Amino acid sequence: MTQKFETLDALGLLCPLPVLKARKRLKSLPAGAVLRVLADDPAAIIDVPHFCTESGHVLLSQDSDGDHQVYLIQKSG
């Protein structure tokens, strides 16, 4: 089964915008939904996991794809 998720393109945005936009998008999603975040801000490597820890969301994965990072965040219940 393929996992369906929404994608947030935060490429070109600098801290704290990728996290702020992720927070706003997650608010509109149901519990358990997965948000895919694309970011190229070097600070996102620290900011996104920290945001997940602070807000209770689950960071499912953190990978790099060429010149940007790809995060999969599952919204907490």
Catalytic residues, by residue number, are 15
CA distance 74 to 32: 6
DSSP code of residue 27: H
- Mapping DSSP to helix (H, G, I), strand (E, B) and coil, where does residue 43 land? coil
Is omega for the bond preceding 18 within 30 degrees of 0, making it cis? Answer: no
Q: Among 67, 8, 23, which residue's Cα sits nearest to residue 41?
A: 67
